[in-house]
Amino acid sequence: MASPWWQRAVVYQIYPRSFADASGDGVGDLAGVIARLDHLRGAPGALGVDAIWLSPFYPSPMADFGYDVADYTDVDPLFGTLADVDRLVAECHARGLRVIVDWVPNHSSDRHPWFVASRSSRSDPKRDWYVWRDGRPGGRPPNDWRSSFDRVGAAWTLDEATGQWYLHKFTAEQPDLNWANPEVEAAMLDTLRFWLDRGVDGFRIDVAHEVGSVPEPPAGTPGTEPWLRDQDWPGSHRVMGRVREVLEEYDGDRMAVGEVYVFDQRRLTGYLAGDELHLAHNFVFMNTPWSARAFRQTVEEFDAVAPPGAWPSWCLENHDHARVASRYDGGGRGPARARAAALLVLLLRGTAFLFQGQELGLPDAEVPPERVVDVDGRDPERAPIPWEPPSAAGPGAGFTAGEPWLPIVADAERLAASVQRDDPRSALALYRRLLELRAATPALHEGRQTMLGGGDDLLAWVREARGERWLVAVNFADGPLRPRLGGAGAPAGELVLSTDPGRAEGRVALAGLELARDEGVVVRLDRA
């Protein structure tokens, strides 16, 4: 039986504010996404991704740029209308692209009518839809929980009018929903059905591991358990199980991927036991330093601790983290390492997630202090996509005809998508080839995986399926490397792809292979 689509897939994250602006107001929108679908799939020269994940486009006061949702079943006028979503889903499906939408169940906006009612009085029927508690003596909040955003401070805000505090693990404009209340659960699960009925293929679940945490420990738990803090509660698992049940009311392989931001892969994979999430973003991997040994440990540990059937997924960028080309820069090596990192995300066994602009090798943008808008320092990775060089398209670089809401990357002239499209040495060309190779090669999208040894300098692994064996090797050393590849089980093969544009492809003997600094290669091994 063929593996499910979401195991083979490469999923491309679209952050709608920064992808493409059709209206000219400086902020991206759904019509802009539709206009740029040729970049993604179904047109000559397209990247060839299998699915898009859209970050939130719901009505929102934008305190957290859409992760503060004021209506779970509508579209913010900034982004368009429900009709635009329908058109987007139809256009994607016509190209064979699946559509995943973001679902933000831990908290709503403080402007959501549910919260407006909830804070209106202690006796309001919606009071218990959020997490309200009395303060401690001396005007102190109910407990010492802190917001995930340092600048926010305490995770509690006092509502003067009703004299109680409400919980918010992010900004004060994002009150936590009370998932212990069955009415909240029913209303929120219905919002999933709303989008499933409109044809979406699944959900990315915001802070899945935080859903349902309340200040009191779950009954019968010892005081030392980590869930006495604010994360990874039994309740989070219960809610993910309910989500899975809703998905299974529908046909056609609908999928849920959780943002499970825990640094313990045992806890992470606990969500993948079969009746909760299909996939979980792996932030151990995303936060791994540029070290072959560290990446190998993360990958091996996942396999060692995951329950049977759990499927890995890999990502190195999203809208909350510095881009790879900047994060792993190491004194000017960012662009080469970003190319090598593409092999990790796309060729390790698992579903691959890319963030818009990663395929262009974009670095973080410089954001001068007067243009900072995010509470948590995440503007640089959210800079708009440069579609055309500014010399041809003006200062909006084809992203917008107006003033972009965040600065465009400094090197847009060289990094613009249209410039990279026809350059076989570009990051975009590399990604396109890698996606093509992955899609066409069962060993690379569903094959078994064996990690080879290699210390700090070499990350290498073999993928195999249907009698084919492929080797992937990445040089992490500070100079050229002659890797020992005896474990590959074949003396030679066909070097099909290198991240170094200067490398000649063709027959190669593994014993004589020398990798350049920061180079990664893909070799189809000879049959033994």
Give the interface with ligand NOJ as residue ranges (CB under 6 A). Answer: 64, 67, 104, 170, 206-207, 259, 319-320
Structure tokens at 87: 């058109």
Q: How many whole angstroms from its chain centre is CA 409? A: 21
Structure tokens at 348: 């390790």
Residue 83 CB neighbours (<10 A): 10
What is the closest distance, in whole angstroms, from the C-beta atom of residue 51 to ligand NOJ in the complex? 18
Report the residue number, 281 or 349, with the smaller CB distance to ligand NOJ.
Answer: 281
End-to-end Cα spacing for the chain: 27
Measured from each CB, the residue nearest to ligand NOJ is: 67
Report the residue number, 79 or 170, with the smaller CB distance to ligand NOJ.
Answer: 170
What is the closest distance, in whole angstroms, from the C-beta atom of residue 320 to ligand NOJ in the complex? 5
What is the closest distance, in whole angstroms, from the C-beta atom of residue 230 to ligand NOJ in the complex? 13
Classified as helix, coil or strand, 311 is coil
Task: Please calculate the CA angle 392-395-399 and round it to the nearest 5 degrees.
Answer: 85
Classified as helix, coil or strand, 77 is coil
Structure tokens at 370: 């007067």
What is the closest distance, in whole angstroms, from the C-beta atom of residue 522 to ligand NOJ in the complex? 31
Task: State residue 320 phi and psi, 5-degree precision.
Answer: -115, 0
Report the residue number, 208 or 428, with the smaller CB distance to ligand NOJ.
Answer: 208
Catalytically annotated residue among 206, 232, 359, 381: 206
SS3 content of the chain, % helix, strand, coil (to 5): 30, 15, 50
Sheet strands side by side (includes 313-315): 279-280, 255-258, 202-205, 98-103, 51-54, 10-14, 351-355, 313-315
Report the residue number, 383 or 417, with the smaller CB distance to ligand NOJ.
Answer: 383
Can 519 be counted among the known catalytic residues? no
What is the closest distance, in whole angstroms, from the C-beta atom of residue 436 to ligand NOJ in the complex? 30
Report the residue number, 231 or 441, with the smaller CB distance to ligand NOJ.
Answer: 231
What is the closest distance, in whole angstroms, from the C-beta atom of residue 69 to ligand NOJ in the complex? 9
Contact predicate 77/85, CB 8 Å: no
Can 206 be counted among the known catalytic residues? yes
Report the residue number, 12 or 170, with the smaller CB distance to ligand NOJ.
Answer: 170
> Quick one: 94 exposed, middle or buried, by C-beta within 10 A (0-12, 13-18, 19+)?
exposed
Catalytically annotated residue among 183, 245, 249, 422: 249
Contact predicate 266/305, CB 8 Å: yes
Catalytic residue numbers? Answer: 206, 249
